[in-house]
Amino acid sequence: AKKGGGSVAPYDSSRDGASTDQLTLLAELREALAVDDQLQLALQPAVDLATGAPTGVEALVRWLHPRRGLLTPADFIGPVEHSEQLGAFTRYVLDKALAIAAGWARDGLDVPISVNISARSLLDPRLPAEIAEALRRHDVPPRRLVLEITETVVMSELEVVDEVLGALRAMGVQIAVDDFGTGFSSLTFLTRVPVDEVKVDRSFVIRMADSPEAAAIVRTTVGLAHELGLRVVAEGVETAEQRIALAELGCTAAQGYHFFKPMSADKISAVLGSLLDS
């Protein structure tokens, strides 16, 4: 039960039911994309573990729904990813993120912004040209944009994805592998897809202290990434113990509530200003 054109994979309502609710939600999203300020970006810095300097800022979408209240990605990303509105949603988020990055550049804050890109958006051959146009329009250098992608890109689609990612990297846009280690073929993925950064999944950071296996995965990921000349960022760091253990395993950068919770665009300029000054 899905409306719209035939080029989009049907939404699998068996996964979480309530497909009428989702159709309502998608209709409301169409409105949210047309008006302004319902969809906002929360921003969370990642920091260098040695210096505390910001290494980048991740943009995390929030929907300030006029009736339902504050919605997080878990409340709506799934249906959006399977709908024909994914393209418009991706463009909207990228546009907001680049507007924010342009503001930082005007304030002399030299920090890249990371945007989460749904796997299915990477199958759209128009994506590189759209991103090039948005970068020009906001006058943001391509290196200031990092696209976070996951390994869920089906291996059989890797040819299209390769082409899209190749074009983006040729422009100077950076690519990060999100949730690294949670897929079935993480190592293969790294050898197949050209990337600049690896984000160690939060689940390993949580288990590191009690699980030698989790610690080994973190150590191996960090070693492999550095050997391949890639940056590594550990996600979801909540405690000083985790920060110290990560540094001991050779990890150089981290992100999580221990450092900063996601915050509004207004707040983050001041935070970045003080981090870069100190």
Phi, psi of 40 (to 5 degrees): -125, 160
Site for ligand C2E in 136-155 (CB under 6 A): 148
Binding mask 79-118 for Ca ion (x = CB under 5 A): -------------------------------------x--
CB of 201 to Ca ion, least distance (A): 6
Query: Which residues, listed in sequence order, are joined to residue 64 by a DSSP beta bridge?
Result: 70
Decide: residue 269, CB within 10 A, 0-12 exposed, 13-18 middle, 19+ buried. middle
Which residue type sits at 164? V
CB of 233 to Ca ion, least distance (A): 9
Q: Which does 149 bind (CB under 5 to 8 A by kind): Ca ion, ligand C2E, none?
A: none
Q: Is 257 in the site for ligand C2E (CB under 6 A)?
A: yes
Quote the tokens at residue 84: 């024909």
Q: Which does 256 bind (CB under 5 to 8 A by kind): Ca ion, ligand C2E, none?
A: ligand C2E
Full DSSP string of 60-91: EEEEEETTTEEE-HHHHHHHHHTSTTHHHHHH
Q: Is 124 in the site for ligand C2E (CB under 6 A)?
A: no
3-class SS shares of the chain: helix, strand, coil, % to 5: 50, 20, 30
Name which of 117 and 272 has its Cβ closer to ligand C2E. Answer: 117
Binding mask 40-79 for ligand C2E (x = CB under 6 A): ----x---------------xx----------xxx--x--
Q: Is 93 in the site for ligand C2E (CB under 6 A)?
A: yes
Binding mask 200-239 for ligand C2E (x = CB under 6 A): -----------------------------------xxxx-
Q: Is 116 in the site for ligand C2E (CB under 6 A)?
A: yes
Q: Is 178 in the site for ligand C2E (CB under 6 A)?
A: yes
Q: Is 178 in the site for Ca ion (CB under 5 A)?
A: yes
CB count within 10 Å of CB 53 equals: 14
C-alpha–C-alpha distance, residues 105 and 110, integer Å: 6
Site for Ca ion in 206-235 (CB under 5 A): 235
The CA–CA distances, whole Å, from 108 to 74, 103, 136, 270 equal 34, 9, 18, 12
Quote the tokens at residue 250: 């050779």
> H-helix or E-strand containing 30?
helix 19-34
Interface ranges with ligand C2E (CB under 6 A): 44, 60-61, 72-74, 77, 93, 116, 118, 148, 178-179, 235-238, 256-257, 262
Report the interface residues with Ca ion, using CB under 5 A. Answer: 116, 148, 178-179, 235
